[in-house]
Structure 1
Amino acid sequence: MSKRDYYDVLGVAKGASAEELKKAYRAKAKELHPDRNKDKPEAEAQFKEVNEAYEVLKDADKKAAYDRFGHAAFDGGMGGGGHHPGGRGNADFASAFSDVFDDLFGDFMGGQRGGGRQRAARGSDLRYNLRVTLEEAYAGLQKTITVPSSVQCTACNGSGAEGGAEPTTCPTCSGMGKVRAQQGFFTVERTCPTCSGLGQIIKNPCKSCGGAGRVQKERALSVNIPAGVETGTRIRLAGEGEAGLRGGPPGDLYIFIEVKKHEIFEREANNLYCRVPVSMATAALGGDIEVPTIDGGRSRVKIPAGSQSGNQMRLRGKGMPGLRGGGHGDMFIELAVETPVNLTARQKELLKEFEELSEDNNPESHSFFKSVKSFWDSMKG
């Protein structure tokens, strides 16, 4: 029986990215794992099929060979030894195929393709999540944070060798970081197993760092948080990530800002919104109220007579500052007319008397119920 297409096995399109292939593989492997399908004997074969497909497609060289030649790239159809794609002998088919061209044209083109040892590994980037208040985001601040990370070993100055001695050239690959082996017609190039591609080895590793050239340590860093930051703002501190392996350059530190919710203000971009309750009498008669501002001050706002819930008033320039300049946003006051509760008998009496005299004082209610009456009349007709 002919083999299924590897892309069909994983359920992805032929142009799928490495991340899409990985995601599809994980989903399929989880779904078909024999431990989860003890009542389905065919699941084990399908599970192996998924693993075989991913073993080929996750490797750029093998994937390139498969895209060009299909299963023939690994089953002997291209003159190979008929090895399984997951095994050692098949294949590095694409690598071997490209090595033929390296051997033929490498000197002519000015050197080997991809030859030479790897450089000392760069340190990893780090992420630090920092929560600030809305007031801090408004004013900006200088904050000291503690970051656990790898730092350069001081005992060996990052070399990984005891006493800071220089590493020696790897005897297996002669400092190239790669070794070549003959497999039938092809010459296959692989990363040197002795030095892991670095081209150098350490005969006497540093006792403090075990030869890594870096150690774990907490560092205190002073961070400048500019005014106007919002949730999702990212601050990059170059060179403040993990130290590189064996003297390699350090990574970067990325600080992700999260602005806490405020009990009074709600933020939208650079504008602030504040919901202010007002009494029914103040809304009807008008008046002045004092509202807080994010800088800790107060602003006096005039409430027009006849104001309704939801009405907004703008205080220009009382919002958040722009992160990259451009002035401040605005602050919007939203009125919430409050209905009185726990009325006394006298208050109820006065409200009933007021209601009897208020036929022309509620235009929205009058208009609504007039429309309702017309609707009901039309339904009867």
Structure 2
Amino acid sequence: METCPTNPLLRGVRVLDLSRLLPGPFCSLYLAQLGADVIKIEEPGGDYARASAELFEQVNRGKRSITLDLRQSDDVARFKALVAEADVVLESFRPGVMDKLGCGYDTLKRINPRLVYAALTGYGQTGPYRDRAGHDVNYLAIAGVLDQIGAHGGPPAMSNLQIADLAGGALTCAIGILAALFGARASGVGSFVDVGMADGSAALQVMALAALRQHGAALPRGCDVFTGALPNYAIYRCRDGRHLAIGALEPKFFRALLTGIAPALPGWVNRVVARKLAPRPTGAPSAAPDDPQAAARAKLQPFGKTTTDPRDARRMLAPLRWLLTLLFLTRPRDAWVELLEAADACVTPVLTLGEALDNAQLRARGMVLDDGGKPAFNLPIFFDNACATHGPSPALGADNDGVLGTLAQTMR
């Protein structure tokens, strides 16, 4: 991988990363790609994720690795010496573990008052669940997210995107670290950053919470605007077994969709659609441009059916869903993509990951990197005066001599 030729934005920031597996390392990966010097501190046996080499290599690119056993007093002393010169400590142990090792925040901030100490855990440092074990699916379940995912009438569904680990945890923690670093630079005083993945996942539920506030409860799976209530915001199977994603939510996009598929519709259907899309008669009431409730109703009346409840929209628009379901089964996916490409109707093919890696848009954005002949993703943030830094993932203890050797000289 190429090294960024410009000065990275986090140049000079040193991160001591004690975290393992996925959430913490993904958080520090972003910091490393932004230019921070991330030193991955592993037990002599290494991060558990090393057993899955492809996973480990993805989330630990561009970091250094040293081995310390914090159950040994000599290694605790080495760690504290590193803390004295560090900007950030990141750990993902259960609450209280670092205190038992003599390396808790209260101890470390006396060594380095400007230290940013980030603890990334499942349920945070407080509350009745703080000591419980868990994984992504558990945090999503507790946060109410899992109940929102799945088909209408079916059970909650699993996702291969670890929403709690990555969005609720890793990225939330990265934001907290960057904010605390900014504060430390301004005040000279560091912070304890407490991030719980269940908390972060709960906070992502903007649309579900909006429904609860409006209707008194989150809507059942498949019954909200973005989970399948509307036939114009849905996924459809095509003749070849592939799928189309339809996002024609606003009336203008819905009209564009119907206009785009018109050549494939029987004549009688086109006549019905034309009547439904006819302009309002002169003098017909229209929504004021600053009326948010009217705008919300407009989103739920693509066929002239007015309601503020997506559950009613699902029932009233069932004939349209039936029509579109049958229609999209008449042609292969790519034929529909070609037909609708110029319609500007928010229609895209559902790609496999392999197809996405070859997608012209992701390639044009520089999102796909060559990592020793294997694909990797770039940092999805682009700056006009800096670029992401990249490097290979480290072998276990690869930097013991460089980091600990130098440290030994200063500790004499």
User: Which TM-score tier does this pair reach, normalised by the shorter chain?
Assistant: under 0.3
Higher relative CO (Cα under 8 Å, sequence separation at least 6) belongs to 2
Normalised by the length of structure 1, the TM-score is: 0.22
**Structure with larger Rg:** 1
Normalised by the length of structure 2, the TM-score is: 0.21
Greater helix share, 1 or 2? 2
Greater strand share, 1 or 2? 1
